[in-house]
């Protein structure tokens, strides 16, 4: 039976707004306060993974100096006198990034783990959490950037660029060139000259809509009020490509996109040519998993891709999306549910969401709070460049 003298102390601790953070081991409160445990003589971070202390033994302190001044020593498990775990992980990830950038060949996960003094599993987890991409994806992105920089260097030959970027042979590079550059190195060096992109403009209830397709798949779906402005936007995106108007068959593709805007319940099944960084593509894939009629916050998307602190980067990836409705960035809202910016106008975003909600209601499908395991949209990823 609990001693009566402890009852007021228990009540004070449990009513303190900091106690729920300790119970939940909430990392968000690390650095905001520490708590001491009378029975062990130590003080801890709110997120400490040690066994939960009895509330009658707990006191709260604004700083670690206050806790040490009261006679408590730092916990050896959560190390409250050291930098926060997230900062330590970020520093370790930065160290691995430098190792990857300086390596001639893509290092193996085991080699990186030995350098970091961690297990491969632990390294993979903290690197992905800190950067938003896997170590291998980061290494491929670094190599792609190196190739692009070398190809842009005046006087450098393609062969010189290939070897300077760390490829041991021409054949190994040409096997990967489509993934690294999205085209052959000669075509890349010419700014994409010679690549053919077909396009057509249609009209829908939300204004003009331009659909463009490369040899890989649909590479742009743009919306606006002025068809000529959309064509100029496409030209700016592919300045050296050969843009040609679509024939009657291609206009069927435009009609399919327009039909989806007008009736979202029809679904949209298109091969896509995604051009973006590794991080942007992870965000875009997560957006495709949001069911029609539902929304997700930027913070929820960041958490879903394993990078909960990258909310701003997620918002930037949404803003960089050039495939309206196919990559449904209109389904991403603020944490409070309010509509935020949309590159094709907030009113279009509102209209798209309203149409989807109405279509789902009419079909008897309730909006889902989580994404399904798969969707009907196929994507083929082109490497427009990973930074």
**Among all residues, which ones are annotated catalytic?**
44, 329
Question: Whole-angstrom Cα distance, residue 369 to residue 35?
Answer: 36
Question: Whole-angstrom Cα distance, residue 370 to residue 351?
Answer: 22
Task: Give Dmax (Cα) for the chain.
Answer: 86
Distances in whole angstroms, Cα of residue 117 to Cα of each of 48, 92, 95, 122, 123: 22, 10, 12, 10, 9
Question: Whole-angstrom Cα distance, residue 357 to residue 181?
Answer: 39
List, in sequence order, every beta strand (DSSP E) within the chain. 34-37, 42-44, 58-61, 73-74, 196-204, 207-213, 218-224, 242-245, 273-274, 296-297, 332-333, 380-381
Burial class from Cβ neighbours inside 10 Å (0-12, 13-18, 19+) for residue 109 reads middle
Question: Whole-angstrom Cα distance, residue 83 to residue 204?
Answer: 55
The encoded tokens of residue 62 equal 């604004």
């Amino acid at each position: 039976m609990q001693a009566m003298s402890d009852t007021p102390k228990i009540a004070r601790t449990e009513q303190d707004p900091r106690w729920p953070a300790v119970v939940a081991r909430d990392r968000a409160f690390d650095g905001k306060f520490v708590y001491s445990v009378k029975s062990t003589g130590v003080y801890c971070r709110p997120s400490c993974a040690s066994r939960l202390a009895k509330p009658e033994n707990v006191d709260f302190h604004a700083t670690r100096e206050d806790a040490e001044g009261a006679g408590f020593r730092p916990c050896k498990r959560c190390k409250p006198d050291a930098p926060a775990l997230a900062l330590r992980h970020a520093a370790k990830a930065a160290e691995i990034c430098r190792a990857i950038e300086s390596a001639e060949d893509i290092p193996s996960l085991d080699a990186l783990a030995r350098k970091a003094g961690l297990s491969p599993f632990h390294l993979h987890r903290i690197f992905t959490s800190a950067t938003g991409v896997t170590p291998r994806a980061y290494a491929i992105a670094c190599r792609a950037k190196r190739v692009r920089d070398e190809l842009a260097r005046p006087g450098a030959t393609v062969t010189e660029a290939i070897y300077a970027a760390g490829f041991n042979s021409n054949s190994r590079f040409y096997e990967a060139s489509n993934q690294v550059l999205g085209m052959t190195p000669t075509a890349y060096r010419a700014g994409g000259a010679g690549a053919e992109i077909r396009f057509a403009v249609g009209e829908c209830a939300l204004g003009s809509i331009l659909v463009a397709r490369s040899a890989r798949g649909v590479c742009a779906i743009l919306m606006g009020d002025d068809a000529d402005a959309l064509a100029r936007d496409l030209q700016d995106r592919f300045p050296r490509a050969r843009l040609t108007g679509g024939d009657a068959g291609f206009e069927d593709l435009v009609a399919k996109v327009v039909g989806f805007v007008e009736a979202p319940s029809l679904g949209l099944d298109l091969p896509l040519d995604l051009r973006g960084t590794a991080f942007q593509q992870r965000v875009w894939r997560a957006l495709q998993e949001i069911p029609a009629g539902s929304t997700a916050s930027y913070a929820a998307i960041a958490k879903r891709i394993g990078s909960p602190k990258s909310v701003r980067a997620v918002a930037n990836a949404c803003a960089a999306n050039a495939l309206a409705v196919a990559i449904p960035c209109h389904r991403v809202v603020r944490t409070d549910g309010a509509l935020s910016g949309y590159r094709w106008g907030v009113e279009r975003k509102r209209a798209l969401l309203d149409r989807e909600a109405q279509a789902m209601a009419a079909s008897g499908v309730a909006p889902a709070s989580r994404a399904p395991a798969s969707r009907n949209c196929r994507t083929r990823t082109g490497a427009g460049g990973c930074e």
